[in-house]
Amino acid sequence: MSAMPGMAGSMPALPLGIPLSRLGSGTSWLPDASPMFAAHHAASGWMLMLHGAAFGQYDHQGSVQGDTQLGLTDWEMLMALHGLAGGRVRVNVMTSLQPLVDGPRGYPELLQTGGAYNGGRIVNRQHPHELFTELAVGYDHSLMSNLATSLYVAASGEPALGPVAYMHRPSAAEDPFAPLGHHWQDASHESFGVVTAGFYSRQAKLEGSVFNGRDPDSYHLNLDYAGAKLDSYSGRLTVLPTANVSVSAWGGYLFDHDRLDTPVGMQRYGASVLTGTGTWSDALVWGLNIHHHGTREHNHDPNAVPKSYHLSSSVLLEHTVDVSPRLAVYGRVEQVQKTADDLGFLGGDALQQFTVRALSLGVTRDVIARGNASLGVGARGTVNLLPETLRHVYGTATPAGFAVFLRLRPTQMRTQPGTLAAMPD
């Protein structure tokens, strides 16, 4: 599971000698020392890479709000790179079978919120990913010895808003569950319509996006362009002070994003610190949402004044360590402020806030490695800490859940020096 020494430095595939290991989700950056799990093949001047992971799991969530389910969490991504006009073109196609296996309400996860089904909030479950999670083309080109520019256009993809999405963070690579603060941090990674442009050096990247900020509907098998407009915007700055650290900060505005509360605009801000050495990885992520209620911003009225607004935040710390080449241990600590509306309450003050916390621990062991694929077995447990005001809803102040799973993914990519650098322009 650990990274090959010097691997990151041996794979310059982008302008300025930037290695592929830096590529996170969308246009985000990981530390250069991040391990890569991928199968790769060169053909006719193209470098093809298959990333992904699939967790077949038995999921049991306790308390009166819990559920038990056999299901799947997965993502599969084909990335194709080719030299073009002195730069690099990159095509990303990412899919998920979750909506076909888990259904439109996804899998059980206590205190998880976000998404809608049959006119109501999805609560205590994680909604499934879209079948077409990413369909995108990116182009990078050097402008001078330490400056390059990039353009990313996606029919479905991720704007420059948020950290590296949790599925692509090495600190969360062994964990099949979404963070409880997902919709405060990286939920916009499935946006139907994104254009991102940026400039970067070897150590820093500044980028901005316009995108369709509307949440996907409950039918996850198509490209959802109903009411789609590129009327949301964001910006992000990422700095890599060393090969082991990536620091990002972002801010943006999402127009009329909530399908159950229209019109509502939302500001989102946040920051992350990702660290890693190849044998261990950490992530510290903070996210803040500011919801504006009763405005006309979806009509772009410059004189619109919010009738009301509320702030809520989340913080996450996660860690994964390779105890041995076959054994990984991981953990996640979270705190999120969720409203009565987020939690699906139908009466009382919909904006009343509740601070919820969760501690998760897990372990995964590789049992089979053949060719470009490895099979692992794992287990994960979570204890949630609720305020007393939620005890009667869940029947306890410490509801818990666990999952056991099989994990299938590519083996770690080990590329010979110069292989990707030699791609023709």
pLDDT digits (tens, 9 = 90+) for 306-359: 567 889 999 999 999 999 999 999 999 999 999 999 999 988 888 899 999 999
Q: Which residue has the tokens 């009738």?
A: 307
What pLDDT score does 294 carry? 62
pLDDT digits (tens, 9 = 90+) for 236-261: 999 999 999 999 999 999 998 888 87
Q: Which residue has the tokens 């619109």?
A: 304
What pLDDT score does 13 carry? 77
| C-alpha pair distances (Å), 338 with each of 49, 54, 181 | 39, 29, 9
pTM score: 0.91
Closest-CA residue to 176 (of 51, 23, 36, 71): 71
Q: Which residue has the higher pLDDT, 33 or 304?
A: 33
Q: Decide if 315 contacts 285 (C-beta within 8 A).
A: yes
* Residue 252 CB contacts under 8 Å (≥ 6 apart), including other chains: 159, 160, 161, 209, 232, 233, 234, 235, 267, 268, 269
Tell how strand 132-144 and strand 120-126 pair up: unpaired
Residue 119, number of CB atoms within 10 A of its CB = 8
C-alpha span between 379 and 57 (Å, rounded) = 9
* Residue 260 CB contacts under 8 Å (≥ 6 apart), including other chains: 116, 119, 120, 121
Return the CATH number of 8-410, one of 3.30.300.30, 2.40.160.10, 1.10.569.10, 3.90.550.10: 2.40.160.10
Cis omega (within 30 of 0) for bond into 263: yes
DSSP conformational letter for 157: B
Q: Decide if 258 contacts 268 (C-beta within 8 A).
A: no
Amino acid at position 279, single letter: T
